[in-house]
């Protein structure tokens, strides 16, 4: 996993001591050190992502600050209202460090003298704070500079100065320089990612962007050993997983870039994915799965798109995709550490096939009986398990994601959750009548129950289905339709009153309901009554010796599918609807 992240980071501008940050504001200065104005960066919602921002080690202790690019609180001493005295004192110490570094750099780099002068001037800083407040800047926003229209962050001389200063401040040791090659010795170890001899980096840079899924706003550590119980063989800190500074920086920068640009939130977790070789957004199967289609795909169903792409790969038309690989990582934060919930990788062709199978297995007739329902977005399938998405546990979302990507059987507890929600919504008139994603998930459970797939589980009604439980559900749907045709809307009808009992003990309930159907048949015209009698007789004939006395969980799932698909098949029946008052409801 870390190797794949490092390989991804190789394509980025990655180097120890530098970091890409979201910079929200830029202070414009003249060449003689006068403040001009504050310029907002970004699109108004987020700041601009700027590479090559200096990244100071040990800023959490010792009063250190970053070089050049810092928060408005540290660089300009902008505080929130009623800030704590302890925080103000700590920030004052960091601000002095920030100014001292600029002054030292200005001694060697004349272009930085205006910046050093303005940060030393109390009157200039007051003007900057006033301008920042007028723009409603926050103390935690990152701040950059421009002198006569030039950003010193991009100056090669400034970057070289920062490298040398940082190396000197760290004692000139190897842990933060390029990995040393040769034999292992003198404290050197083999880097887990490069295989070269190196001085292991004691502490790794932090992963940012997980604050919405349990992480800290200041960042979380992917590889860290801060307790004795985590160590072995007398090794301290990250020497237990030895990596060079360069390799660690690349995997960290790679993951941070993925979280910023290629992440999707699933419940309380983040999913990031990428490919060994770049592919166009319209060819990304995981984008179809998530439902974030590109504009070119808005008119195409995900299932059809997956089938077309799969055929083009197998025919050789898209040979460029045949040797590609995918990688997917599910993450959350926990007490300052990155929690890896799942890791998947594999061939691109297999991914396309699995996504195609996902939508094919979920395919279900629409509740109005007019064709198939639209391909559901992944979060719609997740939402089919709970009343509200905020109630969805992160492990459940991660499990369902893995089921979809790797074409695994659907765990029975997930089918049970969907079934429980189905029963609840049947009796709750404030809920939609049926969720297509939920019924598709129940169907997909049975399709994947058998190794080769269950061919009897179709998107539409299957009158030849071998399971009696399925036909018991069909019979309840017909009896419910019959009651509505005879009596209209009676409020709590046969479904609201008997569905739970009929789906668990059909042998005790179905017979009584079928007997009572004679009273309803007597209220219908001859032709309509004849149609219902034939339908009831046909289903009863498929029950053999009678309805099962008790149904297990799988039987209850088949009952629900039979009920839903039969009801969908009845709704387009115009002849029935012409005389069945209220049937369209």
pLDDT at 579 over 80: no
Considering the domain architecture, whether residues 182 and 292 belong to the same structural domain is answered as no
Considering the domain architecture, whether residues 478 and 503 belong to the same structural domain is answered as yes
Degrees, nearest 5: CA angle 275-13-163: 150
Is residue 323 domain-resident?
Answer: yes
Is residue 440 domain-resident?
Answer: yes
Considering the domain architecture, whether residues 132 and 70 belong to the same structural domain is answered as yes
DSSP string, 445-501: HHHTTSTT--TT--SS--TT-S-HHHHHHHHHHHHHHHHHHHH---SS-HHHHHHHH
Is residue 38 domain-resident?
Answer: yes
**302 vs 206, higher pLDDT:** 206
Is residue 458 domain-resident?
Answer: no
Considering the domain architecture, whether residues 279 and 249 belong to the same structural domain is answered as no
Considering the domain architecture, whether residues 231 and 334 belong to the same structural domain is answered as no
Pairing of strands 263-266, 269-275: antiparallel
**131 vs 294, higher pLDDT:** 131
Considering the domain architecture, whether residues 420 and 284 belong to the same structural domain is answered as yes
Choose among 423, 466, 429: nearest CA to 442: 423
Average pLDDT over residues 92-103: 93
Please list the alpha-helical segments (H only) found in 42-84. Answer: 72-76
**236 vs 414, higher pLDDT:** 414
Structural domain count of the chain? 4
The sign of the dihedral angle between the CA atoms of 8, 12, 18, 19 is negative
Considering the domain architecture, whether residues 164 and 195 belong to the same structural domain is answered as no
Is residue 452 domain-resident?
Answer: no
21 has which bridge partners?
Answer: 50
Q: What does each C-alpha distance from 189 to 3, 172, 223, 225, 239 come to in angstroms?
A: 17, 18, 16, 17, 8
Average pLDDT over residues 194-198: 89
Domain end, chosen from 237, 259, 281, is at: 259
Task: Summarize pLDDT for 359-370 with one digit per residue, the tens.
Answer: 999 999 998 888
Pairing of strands 70-71, 35-40: unpaired
Task: Summarize pLDDT for 414-439 with one digit per residue, the tens.
Answer: 999 999 999 888 876 555 568 899 99
Separation CA 18–CA 12 (nearest Å): 12
Do the Cβ atoms of 521 and 532 come closer than 8 Å?
yes
Do the Cβ atoms of 558 and 468 come closer than 8 Å?
no
For every residue of 164-197, which 3-state class applies, written as one string? HHHHHHCCCCHHHCCCCCCCCCCCCEECCCCCCE
Considering the domain architecture, whether residues 237 and 292 belong to the same structural domain is answered as no
Considering the domain architecture, whether residues 571 and 524 belong to the same structural domain is answered as yes
Separation CA 559–CA 495 (nearest Å): 13
Q: Which residue has the tokens 């920062």?
A: 162
pTM: 0.80
Which residues, other chains included, contact 381 with Cβ-Cβ below 8 Å and sequence gap of 6+?
A: 362, 400, 437, 440, 441
- Quote the pLDDT of residue 405: 92
pLDDT at 176 over 70: no
DSSP string, 522-570: TTS-HHHHHHHHHHHHHHHHTTTT---S---HHHHHHHHHHHHHHHHHH
Burial per residue of 340-362, b for 16 or more beta-carbon CB atoms within 10 angstroms, e otherwise:
ebbebeeebbebbbbbbbbbbbb
What secondary structure letter does DSSP report for 228?
A: G
Separation CA 439–CA 337 (nearest Å): 38
Task: Summarize pLDDT for 449-489 with one digit per residue, the tens.
Answer: 988 888 889 999 999 999 999 999 999 999 888 888 878 77
Q: Which residue has the tokens 């008790």?
A: 550
Say if residue 60 is exposed, middle or buried (CB neighbours under 10 Å; 0-12, 13-18, 19+). exposed
Is residue 355 domain-resident?
Answer: yes
Considering the domain architecture, whether residues 226 and 286 belong to the same structural domain is answered as no
Is residue 455 domain-resident?
Answer: no
Considering the domain architecture, whether residues 409 and 274 belong to the same structural domain is answered as yes
For residue 39, the surrounding DSSP H or E stretch is strand 35-40
- Quote the pLDDT of residue 484: 83
Domain end, chosen from 146, 169, 192, is at: 169
Q: What does each C-alpha distance from 348 to 121, 375, 553 come to in angstroms?
A: 58, 21, 36
Domain end, chosen from 226, 259, 292, is at: 259
Is residue 584 domain-resident?
Answer: no
Task: Summarize pLDDT for 395-411 with one digit per residue, the tens.
Answer: 898 899 999 999 999 99
Task: Summarize pLDDT for 484-516 with one digit per residue, the tens.
Answer: 887 877 666 788 888 889 999 998 888 888 888
The whole domain housing 360 covers 266-447
Q: Which residue has the tokens 């083999």?
A: 190
pLDDT at 560 over 90: yes
Considering the domain architecture, whether residues 369 and 230 belong to the same structural domain is answered as no
């Amino acid at each position: 996993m870390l190797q794949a992240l490092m390989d991804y980071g190789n394509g980025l501008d990655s180097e120890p001591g530098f970091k890409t940050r979201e910079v929200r504001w830029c202070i414009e200065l003249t060449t003689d050190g006068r403040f001009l104005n504050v310029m907002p960066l970004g699109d108004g919602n987020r700041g601009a992502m700027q590479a090559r921002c200096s990244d100071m080690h040990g800023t959490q202790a010792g009063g250190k600050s970053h070089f050049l690019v810092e928060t408005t609180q540290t660089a300009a001493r902008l505080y929130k209202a009623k800030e704590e005295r302890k925080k103000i004192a700590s920030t004052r110490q960091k601000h002095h460090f920030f100014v001292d570094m600029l002054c030292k750099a200005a001694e060697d780099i004349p272009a930085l003298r205006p910046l050093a002068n303005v940060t030393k001037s109390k009157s200039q800083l007051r003007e900057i704070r006033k301008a920042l407040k007028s723009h409603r800047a926050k103390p935690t926003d990152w701040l950059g500079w421009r002198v006569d229209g030039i950003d010193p962050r991009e100056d090669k001389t400034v970057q070289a100065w920062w490298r040398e200063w940082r190396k000197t401040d760290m004692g000139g040791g190897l842990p933060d320089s390029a990995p040393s090659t040769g034999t292992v010795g003198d404290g050197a170890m083999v880097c887990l990612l490069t295989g070269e001899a190196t001085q292991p980096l004691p502490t790794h840079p932090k992963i940012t962007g997980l604050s919405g899924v349990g992480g800290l706003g200041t960042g979380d550590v992917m590889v860290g050993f801060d307790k004795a119980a985590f160590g072995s063989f007398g090794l301290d800190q990250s020497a237990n997983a030895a990596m060079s500074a360069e390799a660690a920086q690349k995997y960290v920068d790679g993951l941070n870039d993925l979280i910023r640009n290629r992440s999707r939130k699933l419940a309380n977790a983040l999913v990031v994915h990428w490919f060994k070789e770049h592919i166009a957004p319209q060819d990304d199967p995981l984008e179809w799965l998530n439902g974030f289609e590109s504009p070119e795909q808005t008119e195409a169903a995900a299932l059809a798109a997956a089938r077309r792409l799969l055929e083009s790969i197998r025919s050789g038309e898209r040979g460029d995709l045949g040797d590609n690989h995918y990688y997917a990582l599910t993450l959350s934060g926990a007490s300052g550490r990155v929690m890896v919930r799942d890791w998947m990788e594999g061939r691109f062709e297999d991914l396309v096939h699995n996504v195609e199978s996902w939508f094919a297995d979920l395919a279900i007739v629409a509740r109005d009986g007019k064709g198939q329902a639209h391909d559901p977005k992944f979060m719609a399938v997740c939402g089919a398990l709970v009343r509200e998405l905020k109630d969805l546990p992160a492990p459940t979302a991660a499990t369902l994601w893995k089921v979809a990507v790797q074409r695994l059987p659907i765990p029975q507890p997930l089918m049970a959750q969907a079934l429980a929600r189905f029963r609840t919504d049947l009796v709750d008139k404030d809920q939609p009548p049926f969720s297509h994603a939920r019924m598709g998930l129940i169907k997909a459970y049975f399709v994947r129950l058998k190794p080769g797939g269950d061919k009897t589980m179709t998107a539409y009604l299957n009158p030849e289905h071998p399971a009696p439980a399925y036909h018991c559900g069909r019979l309840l749907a017909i009896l419910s339709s019959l009651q509505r045709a005879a009596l209209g809307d009676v409020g709590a009808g046969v479904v609201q009153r008997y569905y739970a009992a009929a789906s668990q003990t059909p042998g005790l309930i179905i017979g009584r309901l079928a007997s009572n159907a004679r009273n309803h048949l007597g209220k219908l015209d001859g032709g309509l009554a004849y149609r219902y009698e034939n339908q009831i007789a046909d289903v009863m004939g498929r029950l053999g010796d009678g309805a099962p006395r008790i149904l297990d969980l799988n039987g209850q799932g088949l009952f629900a599918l039979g009920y839903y698909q039969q009801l969908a098949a009845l709704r387009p029946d115009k002849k029935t609807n012409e005389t069945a008052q209220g049937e369209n409801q």
